[in-house]
Chains A and B, each alone.
Chain A
């Protein structure tokens, strides 16, 4: 008689292998391990708890359906994060939130007021611990437009190259470079306190 797998102590690759064979308990363990990361990514992109919850669950369902295609070329955490990113990008496209629709957003696309700000030269956040720094960054990211925040998430947090960002966001590499540049400039100004934060 075979022993039941020790799910809590099993490695991700072992759990993936078991889940690929239809073991839902193994899949549940994977969900439990990575659900906060997946939910956080959805929340950072959607800025809405309800959307983030729903889309993160959709990502897990899609992951179950596509588990047979997972070959272990990246870690399971990276794989599931890419799935939730694609789902959020689709949702943002459906909601037309990735396009510059307002005058304010159009100004952001082209650089807006950041074009005239002097570059930040002093590290105003030096001395903050990691948790404080992350909290400041999150507050800064909340002030950015959807397009600017998304490109920063894809490039800075997910480590995607310009080409891959462009493919996922459905725009040209030039647009990505431009968005990334102004997103960084705006974020720097916000974090350095050079620009008054607007209300979310």
Chain B
């Protein structure tokens, strides 16, 4: 008998075998004496174990055992009520939200100078500027040519 078959027999006894595989295992137990003998042994072991375990008493007095626990208990002043549980849930969320907010803040601080430069560039005076209407002076600045031309128009 293969190891896989042995484990299938056990799973069948434990009620953990997929229903589709059960008929095949049942047929095997009927026709194979080896499989039937193994099933008998596994059943016997399960029956023995069903008797349970020996309960061992704690080898310390109730008072001494409790005193060792009690001194390590953190007092709980407030009852754990439904609102308390809601608050605990919020605290769990906050544990994630607080670091996320801190990261977002740092990102804003890092990006801010870049945004400011970009907005300044956007707000930069147009290439043709007229400082005063009366004088009729026009200034042309070419960034690519690194050149400024001033044209004064007499009125």
B10 near A57 (CB under 8 angstroms)? Answer: no
In the complex, what distance in Å separates the CA atom of A39 from the CA atom of B58?
A: 6
A68 near B53 (CB under 8 angstroms)? Answer: no
B114 on the interface (CB 8 Å rule)?
no
Q: From residue A176, how far is it (CB to closest CB) to chain B in Å? A: 10
B48 near A133 (CB under 8 angstroms)? Answer: yes
- The A interface, classified by DSSP as helix, strand, loop or mixed, is helix
Answer whether A32 and B41 are a contact pair too, CB < 8 Å, given A22-B76, A191-B48.
no
In the complex, what distance in Å separates the CA atom of A123 from the CA atom of B43?
A: 10
Give chain B residues whose Cβ lies under 8 Å from the Cβ of A60: 69
Chain A 151-189 interface 0/1 with B at a Cβ cutoff of 8 Å (1 = within): 010011100011000000000001001101100110110
B53 near A67 (CB under 8 angstroms)? Answer: no
Give chain A residues whose Cβ lies under 8 Å from the Cβ of B77: 22
A177 near B55 (CB under 8 angstroms)? Answer: no
A120 on the interface (CB 8 Å rule)?
yes
- The B interface, classified by DSSP as helix, strand, loop or mixed, is helix
Contact of B37 among A53, A121, A155, A161 (CB under 8 A): A121
Task: Point out which of B3, B38, B45, B88 has the most chain A C-beta atoms below 10 A from its C-beta.
Answer: B45
In the complex, what distance in Å separates the CA atom of A144 from the CA atom of B84?
A: 46
Give chain A residues whose Cβ lies under 8 Å from the Cβ of B88: 68
Chain A residues bordering chain B, tally (CB within 8 A): 56
A57 near B48 (CB under 8 angstroms)? Answer: no
Binds A, one of B23-31, B59-67, B98-106, B142-150: B59-67
In the complex, what distance in Å separates the CA atom of A111 from the CA atom of B73?
A: 45
Instruction: Output the nearest chain B residue to A134 by Cβ-Cβ distance.
Output: B54
B48 near A35 (CB under 8 angstroms)? Answer: no
8 A Cβ contacts from A12-36 to B: 20-22, 24, 27-28, 31-32, 35-36
B53 near A134 (CB under 8 angstroms)? Answer: yes
B51 near A133 (CB under 8 angstroms)? Answer: yes
Answer whether A31 and B11 are a contact pair too, CB < 8 Å, given A65-B74, A120-B41.
no
B72 on the interface (CB 8 Å rule)?
yes
Give chain A residues whose Cβ lies under 8 Å from the Cβ of B80: 20-21, 67-68
B7 near A36 (CB under 8 angstroms)? Answer: no
B48 near A125 (CB under 8 angstroms)? Answer: yes
B41 near A188 (CB under 8 angstroms)? Answer: yes
8 A Cβ contacts from A119-138 to B: 119-121, 123, 125, 130-131, 133-138
In the complex, what distance in Å separates the CA atom of A53 from the CA atom of B64?
A: 12
A143 on the interface (CB 8 Å rule)?
no
Instruction: Output the nearest chain B residue to A181 by Cβ-Cβ distance.
Output: B10
Answer whether A35 and B58 are a contact pair too, CB < 8 Å, given A22-B76, A28-B70, A57-B69.
yes
Question: B residues bordering A, Cβ < 8 Å?
Answer: 3, 6-7, 10-11, 14, 16, 37-38, 40-42, 44-60, 62, 65-66, 68-70, 72-80, 84-85, 88
A sample of 6 inter-chain contacts (CB < 8 A) reads A40-B53, A64-B69, A118-B37, A120-B44, A123-B44, A177-B7
The list of the 9 closest CB pairs from A to B, nearest first, reads A119-B41, A21-B79, A68-B80, A22-B76, A119-B37, A156-B49, A133-B51, A188-B45, A39-B58
